[in-house]
Amino acid sequence: MGAKWTGGVVDRRGDDGPPTVEEWLPVSVPGRPAAFGDAAGPIAYRTTFGDPRNDAVERALVELCGIYARAEIWLNGDRLGAHDSTVLPFRAAFDPRPENELVVVCERPDPLTGIYGSDELPDEFATPAIRWGVGFESRPRTFLRRFEARSRLTEDGGVIDVEAEVDAGESIDGAITFSVRPEGFRGGGTMQRASVQAAAGERVTVSRTLEIREPSLWWPRGYGPQHRYAVRAKLGEESLERTVGFREIERDGEGILVNGTQVRARGFTRLPGGDPATDVERAVGANATLLRARTPIPPTFYDACDEAGVLVWQDLPTGGPNADRSLERTRSLAAALERTYGHHPSLAIYGGHDDPSRPFDGLYGGGFLTKLRFRYRARRTTADRPSTAAIAEVLPGGRPIVTSAGPPGTDSDAALIFPGWQYLEADAVEWLLERDRSIGPFVGGFGAGSLTAADVDPAGIPGLDEAALEHWVGADPTVEASQTYQARTLKTVAEALRRRGSGVLVAATLRDATPGGGAGVLARTGEEKEAYRALARSFEPVQAILDGPPEPGSVGITLCNDTHEEVETTVSWRAGEAGDETVVRVGPLETADAGTAEIPRTASGIELTVGGNGRAVTNQYHL
């Protein structure tokens, strides 16, 4: 939409008209206007537009997507409606004038239930705004207001449950045609007609169940094709379409099962900001098969994940000082998410937010006494959160849930482990996993921070621990030194988890939320840090990794296989003038001994290679 917008802080609420604003400033909508980041009250957004209709007999429809948080919508001085969901769009039909004025008043979110409040994000992300899109459309007098489609597997094959809502601007006695066709592959489809009757001014809902015999399944990338079906509802000359996929998602003690088969999920946390589809492409470039979304994300994100075969772990707010109010907000948000995104085959997991406690900050180093203090604190660590049963009760059923993610000692459903950053040394991850075997199978976060600009104060970068950066990199860290340290830390932890067969491991994070640095493996604008390529190598589905630190002397090599196929391949290593190779066979989702590297003291690094003949995969380490 090409409309120009202005925005301002509301200074007075009227009794029978839209609120007033003392000063209107030019703003970009959709977006997060930084100019209002410090404002304590509601923010109003205003635009003018012409008649969007193609014909005077048609109706106009306004759609607002990603409103954050509660909002009132005013059109030409009249209250058009209210809205209280970031996920569900606001839609309203109206009779336009030749010139129209739209005012959207966005309230500050409740601090107990806000979904963007986090020390990982700058204040601008909590600014009330219209985040995802605004549209004005011309629609027939009677039109399809909403269409939902949901696939499910049955004992006899599969079915797709469809539901269409008809907004009758004039009386109708007709039929809706529902059709299903394979999207980009050969397979069976179906078509069915359903009668619809409504008087002028009514809204009616029409539901049907469409049967698909022998449906083709959707799989995560690397485990099978991403088969999907286009489902269409057609009323007269207009139609709405949704894309669905058939798959089953379960969780066991080792990780995630898709369609009854164990898969390995490796990926990143994604913070808000930037283009979602581009972030999915970047994650795939680093061999990710999962993205953890900390906040609700536009539909384009799920569309891209469906196409790329990337699983989504969708977080929901489940903490806060008022547990009851927080969980009720979670219930509402979860229902909206399931209704809006539940048809996407990539939506795999719902999870609660991370526990905010950081009981081990400052326990740097890896010596015996430091580890002893770590164990002492772990035994006395508790998490202030609602009960697992209470969280599970408000999250949608039908797919795996992670009720909590927290540090060692908090008895969390998923582990957050940050050796080499918040505590211990990076290679102490081996001791950590050996001490507590429950934290290895399902890891919801690990990582370290780094800088992307030399002229920034680390203390002013959200999500970047200034004390940790100073300890590990130095009092005046350079961009290069910080990024090298981050890459080595992430690589050490990720490969230790892979050797132990971790089912799910998520690095924090894909991309920095702010300029200057952060925990991302990419800068805010998408430029690669050193850690991006390092993790891309560590996440290769079939990869050789070192069993210990890259140091002169004897170091074991392990071949990891995250695929469903048995692999027989050549594993070779080269360090300076030394090198060797061996043939290794490794079973599906298993690891195998790939020999030992003898690293000479004169070497500056070691490179491992899997395979050959133009299909080699390498893994590199600096000494």
pLDDT tens digits, 414-449: 999 999 999 999 999 999 999 999 999 999 999 999
What angle, rounded to 10 degrees, do the helices at 276-285 and 299-308 form? Answer: 30
Higher-confidence position of 366 and 417: 417
- Which of 115-124, 412-421, 503-512 is predicted with the least confidence, judged by mean pLDDT? 115-124
Comparing CA positions, the residue from 530, 525, 499 lying closest to residue 512 is 525
Q: Are residues 233 and 257 in the same domain?
A: no
Boundary residue ending a domain (486, 508, 539) = 539
- Separation CA 467–CA 276 (nearest Å): 31
Looking at the structure, tell me whether residues 421 and 385 fall in a common domain. Answer: yes
Same domain, residue pair 464 and 607: no
* Least trusted range by pLDDT, from 169-183, 193-207, 311-325: 311-325
SS (H, E, C) 23-85: CCEEECCCCCCHHHCCCCCCEEEEEEEECCCCCCCCEEEEEEEEEECCEEEEECCEEEEEECC
Nearest to 115 by CA among 297, 310, 338: 297
Tell me which residue of 539, 416, 426, 559 sits closest to 493, measured CA to CA: 426
Burial (0-12, 13-18, 19+ Cβ within 10 Å), 175? middle
pLDDT in tens, 311-355: 999 998 876 556 666 788 888 889 999 999 999 999 999 998 788
Shared domain check, 260 and 361: yes
Domain boundary among 522, 539, 556: 539
Same domain, 277 and 260: yes
Q: What is the pLDDT of residue 17?
A: 81
Average pLDDT, the chain: 92
Cα angle for residues 329, 333, 338 (degrees, 5° grid): 150
Q: Is the pLDDT of residue 117 over 80?
A: no
Q: What are 205-261's pLDDT values in tens digits?
A: 999 999 999 999 999 999 999 999 999 999 999 999 999 999 999 999 899 999 999
Domain region containing 155? 142-244
Residues 192, 341, single domain; the answer is no
Q: Which residue has the higher pLDDT, 463 or 285?
A: 285
Per DSSP, the residues of 201-240 read: T-EEEEEEEEEESSPPBB--TTSS-B--EEEEEEETTEEE
The greatest distance separating any two alpha carbons of the chain, rounded to the nearest whole angstrom, comes to 86
How many domains is the chain built from? 4
The answer on 424 and 285 residing in a single domain is yes
Instruction: Report the C-alpha gap between 237 and 137 in whole angstroms.
Output: 15
DSSP three-state, residue 372: helix
CATH code of 460's domain: 3.20.20.80
Same domain, 30 and 107: yes
Burial (CB count within 10 angstroms: exposed 0-12, middle 13-18, buried 19+), residue 456: middle
Q: So what's the pLDDT on residue 397? A: 80
Tens digits of residue pLDDT in 76-106: 999 999 999 999 999 999 999 999 999 999 9
pLDDT (average), residues 525-543 = 97
Q: Are residue 201 and residue 260 in the same domain, yes or no?
A: no
Residues 20 and 112 grouped into a single domain: yes
What is the band of 357 on the pLDDT scale with cuts at 50, 70, 90?
A: confident
CB distance 573 to 598 below 8 Å:
no
Rg (CA), the chain: 27
State pLDDT tens for residues 130-161. Answer: 999 999 999 999 999 999 999 999 999 999 99
Residues in contact with 341: Cβ distance below 8 Å, sequence separation at least 6, in sequence order: 87, 299, 302, 314, 347
**DSSP states along 529-558:** PHHHHHHHHHT-SEEEEESS---SEEEEEE
- H helices of 255-356, in order, are 276-285, 299-308, 323-341
Q: Same domain, yes or no, for 269 and 181? A: no
Beta-carbon contacts of 389 under 8 Å, excluding residues fewer than 6 positions away, are none
Q: Which CATH number do you get for residue 125? A: 2.60.120.260
Do 170 and 299 belong to one domain? no
- CATH code where residue 235 lies: 2.60.40.10
- Detail the DSSP E strand segments found in 435-538: 442-446, 450-451, 504-507, 517-518
> Band of the pLDDT at 266, cuts 50, 70, 90?
very high
1 pLDDT more than 60 = no
Q: End of a domain among 539, 565, 600?
A: 539
Structural contact between residues 558 and 547, judged by C-beta atoms closer than 8 angstroms: yes
> Per-residue pLDDT tens for 443-466?
999 999 999 999 999 999 988 999
Place of tokens 């939902």: 148
The pTM assigned to this predicted structure is 0.95
